[in-house]
Chains A and B, each alone.
Chain A
Amino acid sequence: GGTPRMKRLAPRSTLRKIIKKHKPELRLAANADLLVRMRGRQVHLSFLLFLHRLAEEARTKAFENRSKIIKPEHIIAAAKVI
């Protein structure tokens, strides 16, 4: 079972580390750990939603440009909107 691995990963979330990098003084309350397990790893809910939105916007931009593939300019345009 993967339970021990999850336990080990749980308190060391990347979000904590990233916030610590940017704001060493700032702490994250335990209940602020809104983590979703994706592809065996943990992602913060807000980041998941951010990527969801960015992807959907970029997809819309690609459609508008009649492109069959999402290109950098579509991401940049999407990032400006969201």
Chain B
Amino acid sequence: SLQPLKAKPVPKSSGASQRKPREPEIASSLIKGIFRHYAKMPVSRDAFRVVEKCSERYFKQLSNDLEAYSRHAGRKTVEMADLELLMRRQGLVTDKMPMNVLIEHYFPMEYRKLLIPVAVCGNKVIPSK
């Protein structure tokens, strides 16, 4: 005979939403967009897949390194200094390119929307403010 249907278990945490937990990751469309912007030439579909794989590996490595650095400093929190050390080891931060210069270089650009130029309809020129 049929077993009576069991009631669905009530979610334990009252605050938790019913949404299915999704794997935290950077949206592939975002990765694609950034990569395409810097590549400045066509990128094959398979190549994008490899870029995504590389990105996953990058974050795994990043987590490992940040844990090692903060643990070494006797902390459980990743501080700015850990990130700077990481970026120094990655060769992104150097004596010639200190962290604050990097930030200045990337952040004002972001505000001016130069990093990903916005497509404008027609040939209207939007005057700069």
Chain A contact residues, CB within 8 Å of chain B? 14-15, 17-23, 25-29, 31-32, 34, 36-39, 41, 43, 45-56, 58-59, 62, 68-72, 74-76, 79
Is B64's CB within 8 Å of the partner chain A? yes
- Name the CB-closest residue of B to A16: B24
B42 touches A51 (CB 8 A): no
A46 touches B83 (CB 8 A): yes
Cα-based distance from A50 to B102 in the complex (angstroms): 13
Size category of the binding interface on chain B: 35 or more
B35 touches A55 (CB 8 A): yes
Is B27's CB within 8 Å of the partner chain A? yes
Extra inter-chain contacts (8) besides given A70-B43, A71-B44, CB under 8 Å: A17-B24, A21-B24, A26-B77, A38-B116, A46-B83, A47-B62, A58-B39, A79-B54
- Decide yes or no: A43 and B30 within 8 Å by CB, A19-B66, A26-B67, A36-B110 being known contacts: yes
A22 touches B49 (CB 8 A): no
A37 touches B110 (CB 8 A): yes
Give 17 A-B contacts (CB < 8 Å), ordered by A residue.
A17-B24, A19-B62, A28-B78, A29-B79, A36-B106, A38-B110, A48-B106, A49-B102, A55-B35, A62-B41, A68-B42, A69-B44, A71-B46, A72-B49, A74-B47, A75-B54, A79-B50
B40 touches A59 (CB 8 A): yes
